[in-house]
Structure 1
């Protein structure tokens, strides 16, 4: 028998369907090791929040047919043994849970009492929480005057008052500016190193996800890929080129480029304010220069560079139309040549 410690989070074959039969989770599986910061990354409707609620003991999975799968938090099942799981987790919801009329210290004291802390233990936990949130100097100020980033850091401090082993956060970066997101990450990293906490968060923003030790990409209830940010970027491959045609007809541009040597992963991106064509090219700089010389008036914007996590996200998750072979008649629509 192995003496190895169980993973902080183990999910295998997780399925859930809401009333009416809509499947939110379709056999999801991933694991998070103790001490890791992991992120469930995906667009709205990918199943992130449903998985979060199940892990947080807020709902029991119900498959449309067959078993619902296996979920463990440090070896305990959230719906079969919720009390054991709740002792080990701290939860930060996307919706605010602070009382704006109370001070930062009073918010923490109220939460501590709900967690059963009293006397010296409560004072110590509140003081440590304020220090970790960087709010010692604002401990006596009412929360209603705090910035979004300060409120989010206080939410994290509340969730960590009882010393949980796992911190769950649902879209903690929502509504925060880049500076506030960077400060939030510093707080989470400090909790990992200082308190030995494992962190699992949901997000659809790249900058926070890119710093995680492990990413789980979800789309329409299924795991698309798992790995580090670097592994996902490597999977994207080559240099990313984005071409925005001046006339907005990205499909016609794709037709004109189809069959050209050296191109890969040609995709029409019809969404967003400006339709575009995304592709991969090993010698992107020289190729783009030649393209602009060949069609000087064809593009409103051209960009290229090393593939990023956002490129990987677009390749693997974001709705996009794969370029299919065009009918011969469409070749007559080539322009700018």
Structure 2
């Protein structure tokens, strides 16, 4: 993997470490906010021993061989058909036949193939023959229900050390992390920030709640400049599982992921924000992309999107997942609030 540069984050310049080989990429943090809803495990301590017992049967180490070198990453079993969720950057350098999987509680060096890749969101699905191994799908939680301060657990194979568990809390939500460059843009959508250690090799592994349900895909860890790519400094990022699962479902069905869009950059109006500002729960529009659906329909900065089609929107993740239910060119009825008044408009969904 190659270096992809770095940019300023507030007053601090950080490098972002991803992948099995510890490549350094750019870090762009957008607006953040608290979570929505309170899951059953929020506010209670994690029994990490129990979480490990739940997660390990679904955890894998991914080894990649390619012309650009070799490396390791992590993943989680999605289903009994042999589909495994990971990061795209974990497997992007693999040659044909160059991927093998070691199960944390099972077979080793199982050949795997690429089912589908989505470099734009840094997600991928690989597959193993379902009759070759015992498959235990990971339990899936709701990332939209995460709250800041909630305990979480990260699992994976940092530096090739298989079956590693670290724990911490949700430090922030709705981070926009730019991990692309030039002609290969990639963004971690509304990333979960956590101080649970994520190091090279953890990428693609599960971030779970205290019930062992996957709520994120561990993807990147920040490093202060001049540290030489050392260990975790407590600034780590995961892709929300609500979004990751919607992409994975497309990859399993078709081998690729489309990117329908309504052309807005938004942040979640959390319960705390709603109480403080009087805004409704939803996706608060910060920017509108000129020429795309939302802008053409008259939606602008300051509007709060609360519904797309029949789906209620209380977070940006929910908005993104709802939009993914449409194909480019489809029309969607969008409910939004402006200055306290509820309105509805029709938006033509675009593609990218």
* Normalised TM-score (structure 1): 0.26
More helix by share: 1
Structure number with greater Rg is: 1
Structure (1 or 2) with the greater strand fraction:
2
Q: TM-score, normalised by structure 2?
A: 0.25
